[in-house]
Structure 1
Amino acid sequence: MPLLQLQRVDFGVGGPLLLERVDLSIEAGERVCIVGRNGAGKSTLMRLVAGELKPDDGEVRLQSGAVVARMAQEVPQDATGTVFDVVAAGLGELGALLARYHHALEAGDMAAMGEAQARIEALHGWDLDRRVAQVIEQLELPAQARFEALSGGMKRRVLLARALVRKPDILLLDEPTNHLDIESIAWLEGFLKSFAGSLLFITHDRGFLRALATRIVEIDRGRVTSWPGDYDNYLRRREERLHAEAQEQARFDRLLAQEEAWIRQGIKARRTRNEGRVRALKAMRAERARRREASGNVRMEVAQGGASGRKVIEMRGVSHGYGARRLLEDTSTTILRGDRIGIIGPNGSGKSTLLRILLGELQPERGEVVHGTGLQVAYFDQHRSQLDESLSALENVAEGREYVEINGARKHAIGYLQDFLFTPERARAPITRLSGGERNRLLLARLFAQPSNLLVMDEPTNDLDIETLELLEELLLEYPGTLLLVSHDRDFLDNVVTSTLVLEGEGRLGEYVGGYSDWLRQRRPPPARAQAPPAPAPVKPAPPTAPAAPPARRKLGYREARELEQLPARIEQLEAEIARRTDAMHDPGFYQQDGAAITAANLELARLQEELDAAYKRWEELESR
């Protein structure tokens, strides 16, 4: 029996129904991804499943006793306190009691502690206290750290813990990779692969989608269709469906045109007119009026500037940091005309700082940056600070002009914005009413209207739907100038860039040929760092002595040398087994098994991944010695 069923569900917010006659079921152990254009209703469908919205018509049925938990797309502004507090809040009133007890315990307030303890015992809540602690440990979270002081990636991990503490049968995730760095995305993938419940998620990250989804649910013009199998299978079958739909619509339109011509014939034809045929024509007109056309694709073109000099940017011996934290240390690189360079690194590693140094917006502590001749820079800012909130979309792009000029061709500003899927009404509306995806499209429209030969893009993929992402990829591949791209979207990097600059920590900037996957193959484990001895407790000064020599590195014993020799083969064996099991899970027949078998397979895959991680860690440890 399905965990959850939507039966003939309708939902609208004015105008055509956003969701129309939706039938959908979710089985135990499934990982279902919802796809569709920006504004198609993906988040609305998820909120209906979560019970946050009620359908206009139809029914949402949840299996008795099943628990649904949702991780919000944005970090809540009112989430404060320790990590324990925020995670426990997922349990409602009892969670608040547990948090109060722990605060009283820490403060030594025996009266408050006794009061909270009595209420917890009355509600049989100590099992839930252990569950909170287990989830925090499982997700490697600092229980007593202040939530407000965490990085964006860690905050999202805490919110995931808050959803998981309810032990959901169905976990809902809306764009969980937004604002995460590549390492955090990889961690989340691994964690969700081992999650025993069902997963319903929305993402624009195709690598994440391919790694997790066992079924695709598409929303298109209000209708929801389900596609078993992986994402690539969905793409093939969707193209076949759209082709068949176009052919059927063309046949219908030809027949309607013939009938319209017949009804307009002269007196003689009217006298012999068949009333049944007239009624059929009226029905055809009504059917044509109800048809919802597929929304068009974005049509993008970059205004090209003149050719820059062959050497675009040269960075010589640059060092920069903030106090003891070094972002760049004696770093040099040369960027040539036509290069398409990806810049990657963890959140906070200095990617945006590196961009500002390369563009001359920030003076480094040491070293110099030399620009080539004839540079025309267009800059996509991930924070969208170039957009004026007080203006409409049209005013942000046209800046008072009626026309924009793209590569010698004049376009009316409204027509240009329609290429980016803005209706005239939407183009004239204040941008405060635009969604995140619309704002990103608007920033692209503004950016591409500026003639450039150096395109700098800082996280351009956030909130864009997959179709727009793929069109942006094609445009960047054809761009004749130079591209600097900061992104955490692994597929986007692989498909666009020809080389990567990697902020590797401690001031190192690595240069690699190819995209993200090529970097993974080429990178080496970082050199082992000697552990600094702990600082001594303050005591009375002692007479000066000669500094002790650093301890010599211990050589590998026979067993350790033998272990090091065997580890590469074991790693290769584990990777092959993980790949085989992952491929098997992508087979639609895999999810026709009973729930226990699916859960067991997921747990075994997680165990193998843990063993592989441990093997890599051990190999690096032995190699460093």
Structure 2
Amino acid sequence: MSLINVTNLTFSYEGSYDTIFENVSFQIDTDWKLGFTGRNGRGKTTFLNLLLGKYEYRGNISANVTFEYFPYEVQEQENLTIDIIKEISPNSMDWEIIKELSLLDVDDDVLYRQFYTLSKGEQTKAMLAAMFLKENSFLLIDEPTNHLDADARKKLSNYLRKKKGFILISHDRYFLDNCIDHVLSINKTNIEIQKGNFSSWWENKKRQDGYELAENEKLKRDINRLSESAKRTNSWSNEVEKSKKGTTNSGSKIDKGYVGHKAAKMMKRSKSIENRQQASIEEKSKLLKNIESSDSLKISQLAYHKNKLAELENISIYYGNILVCKDVSFNIEQGDRISIKGKNGSGKSSIIKLICGEDIKYTGTFRKGSELKISYVSQDTSHLKGNLTDYAFENNIDESLFKAILRKLDFTRIQFEKDMSSFSGGQKKKVLIAKSLCEKVHLHIWDEPLNFIDIISRMQIEQLLLEYSPTLLFVEHDSEFCKNVATKSFEF
């Protein structure tokens, strides 16, 4: 066991007016299984890059371990997998590699296949196995679950639960709960560490937020009451001051000694009220700094003139002569929220493309309602470039509504001035979701919409779907989201 010490860390990107970290200090035990959480764009990946020494910063980071970053960039993907693993961990013996892969439920025959022929899940597992074989290394694991199906996520989570010495960025609640013992959270104004899994951290955060909101209301009432009291005291003081120069109503002279004593007493009381008011204001200023904005989202879906929107009966899809999926049958009816499940490569995205109207080779019967309007969110965000105003205009959506949704999804106004190509992966996905929510359609189809999106935003989207019950067909590997949202599921 050793410690990673972060002291007075301050960092901002060159030429940017955003400060990512300012005088941040904390300690990490290298035996911890540390989950790293925070909203998109807060600097999670940036912090990992600072640990790797990629950027210059102010402050100090000291550690007696070697940092290893996942995903590892494989240059020669034509090489055999065993050669890739030995490039990452040159001192590993063959039997150690085979043992590590078996823990991940990966057959050792992948070792003698070219790396590019492995599925995304197999590549992820092979790289992580290699990195955990390195001695004296502390792993920085950046969103390993993206594009992994639910079964692969579960196996990877069980594997990580048996390991120690890593920071894990993931936005999958179930995945985190299963394999971490501490949480590192980037909040609005600070970074903090708590013992426990994501669920225990979230419960603690809700309790703290509730306490601060209640305390804030109490202090607001105190400040208003003290302010009224101060006005009354000042009014009394003014009256006393006036009386120094006059006489009583009966015409007798004023006792100036008595008046002076009364004025001094009033001044003392006024000062006391002022001090109490200032103390309340200072206490109030310490509250609510880390309460996350998660305003409710809205969706206004068009009603279709028929209950049944689409029907698939014994659909089989082919790419050339290769069968992708076989005998798929299900209906989409108004109000359905259908989760399509299955391993990667089982044909989920192909079925979605068929429903969306792409030219797909298939057999079987496919019927889609006439003039059915569909909003589609794809997995790919690489096409997002330029500014948000032009993007809204090009896609014929209301710019004000579009940006209002992004604000609710934790976009700052500064983000609106940036080029979309500079956005984080999660921020790009939020652009696609916000666009979809602005479109007037009968059916929303989302293909892995939550990849890279932070947990609080996932909860907002989840609440939206539960509250407004739009007709939705979606592919998503976040098991908690699927369990809460889907009214029906179809497994390939």
TM-score of the two chains, using structure 1 as the length reference: 0.63
- Counterpart of 2:318 in structure 1 is 321
Shift of 1:275: 12
* CA–CA distance in structure 2, aligned partners of residues 361 and 190 of structure 1: 38
Report the Cα offset of residue 462 of structure 1.
Answer: 0.5
Structure 2 residue 228 is the aligned partner of structure 1 residue 228: no
> Cα–Cα, structure 1 residues 164 and 426, in superposed 2: closer, same or farther, change >3 Å?
same
Q: Is 1:207 aligned with 2:204? A: no
Equivalent residue number for residue 350 of structure 1: 347
SS at match of 2:167: strand
**Cα distance, 1:364–1:429 mapped onto 2, change above 3 Å:** same
Quick check: 1:315–1:358 contact (8 Å CA) kept in 2? no
Tell me which residue corresponds to 2:134.
Answer: 166
The answer on whether the counterparts of 1:298 and 1:421 sit within 8 Å (CA) in structure 2 is no
Residue aligning to 1:87:
85
Per-residue CA deviation, residues 254-311 of structure 1 (Å, 9 max, x unaligned), is 6677579969x79969x96969979x95996799499846442254211321234112
CA contact (8 A) 2:230 2:274 kept: no
Give the aligned residue type for 1:56: R
- Say which SS state the counterpart of residue 25 (structure 2) adopts: strand
Amino acid at match of 1:365: Y
Contact 1:397–1:445 (CA under 8 A) maintained in structure 2: no
CA RMSD in angstroms comes to 3.8
Separation (CA, whole Å) in 1 of partners of 2:171 and 2:37: 8
- Alpha-carbon offset, residue 49 of structure 1: 4.7
State the match for 2:25 in structure 1. 22
Q: Distance in 1 between matches of 2:329 and 2:288?
A: 59
1:394 to 389, 397, 409: 389
1:421 equivalent to 2:410? Answer yes
Percent identity among equivalent residues? 23
Between the aligned partners of 1:246 and 1:229, the Cα distance in structure 2 is 24
Asked whether the equivalents of residues 186 and 192 of structure 2 are also in contact (C-alpha less than 8 Å), the reply is yes
Is structure 2 residue 428 aligned with structure 1 residue 439? yes
Pick from 188, 191, 195: which aligns with 2:156?
188
Report what 2:459 is aligned to. Answer: 470
Cα separation, 2, equivalents of 1:252 and 1:499: 48
Change (3 A) 1:308 1:457: farther
Q: 1:501: Cα distance to partner?
A: 1.5
1:10 and 2:9 are equivalent in the alignment: yes
Q: How far apart, in 2, do the equivalents of 1:27 and 1:329 lie?
A: 48
**Whole-angstrom CA distance in 2 between matches of 1:178 and 1:7:** 29
String of CA shifts for 1:383-406, please: whole Å, max 9, x gaps: 137x552x31222224487945xx
Give me the whole-angstrom Cα distance separating, in 1, the residues matched to 2:273 and 2:9.
Answer: 33
Counterpart CA distance in 2 for 1:247 and 1:417 is 28
Partner of 1:78: 75
Q: Which residue among 332, 339, 360 is the counterpart of 1:335?
A: 332
| Structure 1 residue 170: Cα displacement | 3.4
Q: Equivalents in 1 of 2:67, 2:405: separation in Å?
A: 43
2: distance between equivalents of 1:260 and 1:413?
43
Instruction: Give the counterpart letter for 1:177 in structure 2.
Output: T
SS in structure 2 opposite 1:32?
Answer: strand
Asked if structure 1 preserves the Cα contact closer than 8 Å seen for 2:448 and 2:474, the reply is yes
Amino acid at match of 2:202: L
CA contact (8 A) 2:212 2:287 kept: no
| Mapped contact 1:309–1:374 kept (Cα < 8 A) | no
Distance (whole Å) between structure 1 residues aligned to residue 10 and residue 156 of structure 2: 32
**What corresponds to 2:367 in structure 1?**
370
Name the counterpart of 1:36.
38
Map 1:48-59 onto structure 2 (within 5 A).
48-50=50-52, 56-57=58-59, 59=60
Distance 1:412 1:209 in 2: 33
Distance in 1 (CA, whole Å) between partners of 2:29 and 2:82 is 31
- 2:165 matches 1:217: no
**8 Å contact from structure 1 (residues 417, 427) kept in 2:** no
Equivalences for residues 192-591 of structure 1 within 5 A: 192-195=160-163, 197-250=164-217, 288=285, 292=289, 294-297=291-294, 299-322=296-319, 325-373=322-370, 375-384=372-381, 388-389=384-385, 391-399=386-394, 403=398, 411=400, 414-503=403-492
TM-score by length of 2: 0.79
- CA positional deviation for 1:334: 2.4
Which residue identity is paired with 1:12? F
- Asked whether the equivalents of residues 380 and 460 of structure 1 are also in contact (C-alpha less than 8 Å), the reply is yes
User: Per-residue deviation at 1:67?
Assistant: 4.7
Q: Note closer, same or farther for the CA distance 1:69–1:413 as it changes in structure 2 (3 Å cut).
A: closer
CA distances 1:457-514 after superposition (whole Å, capped 9, x unpaired)? 10011111111101111112234442111111111111111222111xxxxxxxxxxx
Q: After superposition, what is the alpha-carbon deviation per residue over 1:46-70, rounded to whole angstroms, capped at 9, x for unaligned?
A: 445555566622x44435xx45433
Residues 105-126 of structure 1, C-alpha deviations (whole Å, 9 max, x = no match) = xxxxxxxxxxxxxxxxxxxx6x
Q: Which runs of 5+ in 2 are unaligned?
A: 242-263
Q: Which amino acid aligns with 1:451?
A: K
Aligned-residue offset at 1:38? 1.3
Question: Structure 2: how far apart are the matches of 1:431 and 1:319?
Answer: 38
1:365 alignment partner, SS class:
strand
Change (3 A) 1:392 1:51: closer
Among 111, 115, 123, the alignment partner of 1:147 is 115
For the residues of structure 1 that align with 2:51 and 2:223, how far apart are their CA atoms? 40
